[in-house]
Amino acid sequence: MKQLQNKCVLLTGASRGVGAVIARTLAQRGVNLALVARSRDLLQNVAGALGRRDQNIRIVTADLTDDNDRRRVVDSVLEAFGRVDVLINNAGMETEGAYLDLSFADIRKTVELNLLAPMALTHLILPHMLENKSGHIVNISSIGGKSGAPYDATYCGTKAGLAEWTRGLRLEMEGTGVDFSTIFPGFVTEVGMFARFNMKTPRVIGSCTPKQVAAAVVKVILHRKREIVVNSQPLRPLFALSEISPGLGDWLMHRSGAVEFQRRKVARGK
Ligand SMILES: NC(=O)c1ccc[n+]([C@@H]2O[C@H](COP(=O)([O-])OP(=O)(O)OC[C@H]3O[C@@H](n4cnc5c(N)ncnc54)[C@H](OP(=O)(O)O)[C@@H]3O)[C@@H](O)[C@H]2O)c1
């Protein structure tokens, strides 16, 4: 996609956190936006802070863990816009805690929102993109999708699944005009699920800002990038080392302070 002006974007998780910043960034580029989340009031606040008169900004309230809601979202957005040029699967939840302290209902819900919802929305929207021979699906994973972390195994599992599912579909859809990208943010400062803990990450692990995540969304679309890791520290070499040697990878997780950091984060969240 060479430009974003007048494109129709369906953005999930738009009511707060990183999603609200992505919405602002895209609105500034003249995008028509369908903003999806459960909280109507928050969506209205986000939408109210955007709107230029020539832009079409819609809000759709939905619980994306619900199959009927997901269908309703896609139907209503297609009806409103007539097309979806870009789907951004940003809605997500973290279920941190010792694995056996979590209820299986919470584990299931995390998988449903972080992994099955993007799969379901894509299943509904992809036929339209293929018909138009154009489209882009952007999935917001996490550095946890590159390297599993203790007390966050379920979340990391969903984010790793999301990333490899994206890679598989990208290869399958080559030449169709539909692109697939994954963004791997590090710990996001200022807003969102990590900022609530009010903690500083170990230096080696680093962090990123929501604006950097939003800029990465724009970049993958305009430059057809497959993947971007958004982080202040270069983590790809560490991910590569962990791939070559899982034992070394575990050692690095301890050595970098990541394991201890996760323990402290969970203790703080209790
Ligand atoms: N923050 C970080 O440090 C960080 C790091 C790496 C990756 N990420 C990823 O970035 C994305 C955004 O994270 P964030 O920090 O902005 O999270 P957040 O502040 O917790 O916001 C989550 C968003 O998802 C929506 N949502 C939650 N459950 C939903 C449901 N059942 N149905 C529909 N919408 C739902 C929320 O809206 P409602 O509550 O109104 O429904 C909200 O808009 C997530 O995929 C996350 O995994 C975040």
Question: What is the reported pLDDT for 188?
Answer: 98
- Which of ligand 1's atoms lies nearest the C-alpha of 207? 3
> Which tokens sit at 80?
């409103």
pLDDT of residue 263: 95
Enumerate the β-bridge partners of residue 135: 178
Which of 16, 96, 158 for a ligand 1 pocket mutation test, highest count of atoms within 8 Å of Cβ? 16
Which residues of the chain fall short of a pLDDT of 70?
51-54
CA-closest residue to ligand 1 atom 44: 92
Go through the domains of the chain in sequence order and give each one's CATH number: 8-233 (3.40.50.720)
CA distances from 254 to 149, 184, 191, 204, 238 (A): 10, 21, 27, 11, 13
Q: What was the pLDDT predicted at 269?
A: 79
DSSP states along the chain: ----TT-EEEEES-SSHHHHHHHHHHHTTT-EEEEEES-HHHHHHHHHTT--TTS-EEEEE--TTSHHHHHHHHHHHHHHHS--SEEEE-------S-GGGS-HHHHHHHHIIIIIHHHHHHHHHHHHHHHHT-EEEEEE--GGGTS--TT-HHHHHHHHHHHHHHHHHHHHTTTTTEEEEEEEE-SBPSSSTTGGG--PPPTTT--B-HHHHHHHHHHHHHHT-SEEEE-SS--HHHHHHHHH-HHHHHHHHHHTTHHHHHHHHHHHH-
Task: Please tell me the pTM assigned to this model.
Answer: 0.98
Active site residue 155: yes
Identify whether the C-beta of residue 35 lies closer than 8 Å to the C-beta of residue 15.
yes
Q: Which residue among 15, 18, 229 has the greatest number of ligand 1 atoms within 8 angstroms of its CB, and so is best to mutate?
A: 18
* CA of residue 187 to ligand 1 center, whole Å: 13
Whose C-alpha lies nearest to ligand 1, atom 46? 92
- CA of 207 from ligand 1 middle (Å) equals 17
Q: Which protein residues are within 6 Å of ligand 1, measured from CB?
A: 13-19, 37-39, 42, 62-65, 90-93, 113, 140, 142, 185, 187-188, 192-194
Compute the distance between CA of residue 63 and CA of residue 243 in angstroms, rounded to an integer. Answer: 36
Q: What is the pLDDT of residue 51?
A: 67
Q: Tell me the C-alpha distance between 248 and 263, whole Å.
A: 20
Q: Give the model's pLDDT for residue 53.
A: 64
Relative to beta strand 227-230, strand 8-12 is: unpaired
Active-site annotation holder among 34, 94, 138, 155: 155
- The alpha carbon of 209 and the centre of ligand 1 are apart by a number of angstroms equal to 15
Ligand 1 centroid to Cα of residue 249, in Å, is 28
